[in-house]
Amino acid sequence: MATRREMLQLIGGTAALTGLPGLALAAPSVELRGGERRLVFVFLRGGMDGLSAVPAYGDPQFAARRGDLAVGAPGTLGGALDLDGSFGLSPYLAEMHKLYAARELAVLHAVASPYRERSHFDAQNLLENGTAKPFGRESGWLNAALAAGAHAVSQSRGLALGQSIPLVLRGSAHVSSWSPSALPAPDADLLERLAELYRGDALLARSFAAAREAQGMLEGRDAARGMGGGPQAVVALAKAAGEILGKHDGPRVASIDFGGWDTHINQLGEYSALTRNLRLLDRSVATLKDALGTAWRQTAVLVVTEFGRTVAPNGSSGTDHGTAGAAFVAGGAVRGGRVIADWPGLGASALYEGRDLRPTLDLRSLFKAALAAQLGLSEAALESHVFPDSRAVRPLEGLFA
C-alpha cells in the first residue's frame, strides 16, 4: 500500500493539495487515513537492560557473559518466552509476547542513539533533541515532527502524559500535558478571568490553553479518576493515553515517561526493581491497547531507552551504564512478529569498548520510519527539521503497515 506521502505525490504534491480544498475533497480516503494514525512514544529512563528484557539466549556466549543474570532458554524454569529461536522476551513480558505472536509487536536489538558516552542525562537529552549531540537543540524531535507535519495531517497536536512535558515533545508546536488530579476542577468563571490575565504572559497563556483542551478531552472518563504517584502511575497514564488518543477528534501523538530503569544492583528475582518495571511495562502496553479500542489498529507505540547496560554483571548482580540495547514497536500499524537485529555477537572482540553490546542500528532509523508512516512526514522534512544531518541514517523499511 502506498504511503500518504506517495499518494500526495501521485495527486500532485502537498502544497497544491492544501491550497485547494476541492482537491482535498477529491481524496477523502487519504485524508482519513493520514488523520487516523497514532504514535505513542514511551521513554524508559535510566537505561533498560536490553539483555534482560530481550535475552539473546541463542548466542553461544550469552550464558557465560551474563553469568547469574542470564535468562534461561525457553522451556527452562524461569526461562525466556521464545521469539525466533535465538532471542526471547523476559518472562515478565507475557502480554507483549502475546502481541508478538499476533504480529503486533516487533523487537529491535543492538540499537542505540548516536550517543557513545555513558551519562544518562546527556544520553536522554540527545535522544530527545534529535540532533547527534547532547544539548544540540533546546526542543525535541517529536515536537519538530508535529510542527513539520502540521499542514499535512489534520490532527497533529501532541499530548504528554504526566505532570511535565519531556524534551522530546517541547518546541514550537503546541502540545498539552495531563495527569490525574486529586483536587476539584476550578470554576468556569475563574478560568475565563485567568485566560484574560495570561494574555500578557505568552508562556502561561499557551500552557493554559493546552491544559483546558486536555481537561475537556478527559472530562468524565475513567482515567480522570484516581490519583497519580507511585510506580503504578505509569499504567494509569497508559490508560489515559489510550482514552485520549482513541477519541475521533483527539491528538494523534502522545508521550509517556517511565523512569527507574537504572538497575545497578540486584536485577534478579521476583522482587527486583527491574522485574517490577518489566511487569509494569507489560501491563502498560496491554492497558494502552485496551484503552485505544479500535484505534489500536492505526497505532504504533515506540518503546525506547537512552542506552543499554554492560553485558557482564557488575559486582552487585546489577549492570552499569552501557551502549546498545533493545527497543520495542507495538501496535496494529506495525508489521510485527519479528526480531530486527544485525546481531554483533557477544564475543570479547565483538563488544563495544570491551564491555557493552555493540550498536548496529541507529534508533533514528526507527524514529524516521515511524514518523513517515504515522505522521506522513517526507524524507526532506525528516532530514532538515526533525533529525538534522541524518541523511546517512536510512529509515527502516517495511516495519509499518
Complex with other proteins: residue 143 or 298, whichever CB lies closer: 143
- Alpha carbon 182 to its chain centroid, in Å, reads 28
**Which sign, positive or negative, has the C-alpha torsion 42, 44, 48, 53?**
negative
Min dist CB 223 to other proteins, Å, is 13
Beta strands per DSSP E along 350-394? 361-362
CB–CB of 143/171 below 8 Å? yes
Distances in Å between the Cα of 16 and the Cα atoms of 11, 199, 230, 364, 372 are: 9, 35, 50, 30, 20
Residues 6 or more apart whose CB falls under 8 angstroms from that of 275 comprise 92, 267, 269
Numbers of helices and strands, H then E, in the chain: 15, 11
Min dist CB 163 to other proteins, Å, is 3
CB hemisphere CA count around 121 (13 angstroms): 0
Min dist CB 260 to other proteins, Å, is 7
Complex with other proteins: residue 270 or 397, whichever CB lies closer: 270
Q: How many CB atoms lie within 10 A of CB 236?
A: 22
Q: How many CB atoms lie within 10 A of CB 1?
A: 6
Q: At 106, which helix (H) or strand (E)?
A: strand 105-112
Among the listed residues 3, 36, 64, the one whose alpha carbon sits nearest the alpha carbon of residue 298:
36
Complex with other proteins: residue 28 or 220, whichever CB lies closer: 220
Min dist CB 273 to other proteins, Å, is 8
Distances in Å between the Cα of 398 and the Cα atoms of 1, 3, 86, 172, 320 are: 11, 11, 22, 31, 34
Min dist CB 87 to other proteins, Å, is 26
Complex with other proteins: residue 19 or 259, whichever CB lies closer: 259
Complex with other proteins: residue 200 or 398, whichever CB lies closer: 200
Min dist CB 75 to other proteins, Å, is 20
| Angstrom distance (rounded) from CA 326 to CA 324 | 7
The helix/strand/coil state of 300 is: strand
Min dist CB 72 to other proteins, Å, is 15
* Grid cell at residue 173: 508546536
* Grid cell at residue 138: 533546546
Angle between helices 202-218 and 188-197 (to 10 degrees): 150
Min dist CB 309 to other proteins, Å, is 12
Complex with other proteins: residue 214 or 334, whichever CB lies closer: 214
Complex with other proteins: residue 4 or 137, whichever CB lies closer: 137
Min dist CB 327 to other proteins, Å, is 20
Beta strands per DSSP E along 239-360? 253-258, 299-305, 325-330, 338-340
Complex with other proteins: residue 122 or 379, whichever CB lies closer: 122
Complex with other proteins: residue 15 or 195, whichever CB lies closer: 195
Amino acid present at 81? L
Strands 325-330 and 299-305 turn out to be: antiparallel
Min dist CB 50 to other proteins, Å, is 19
Complex with other proteins: residue 3 or 317, whichever CB lies closer: 317
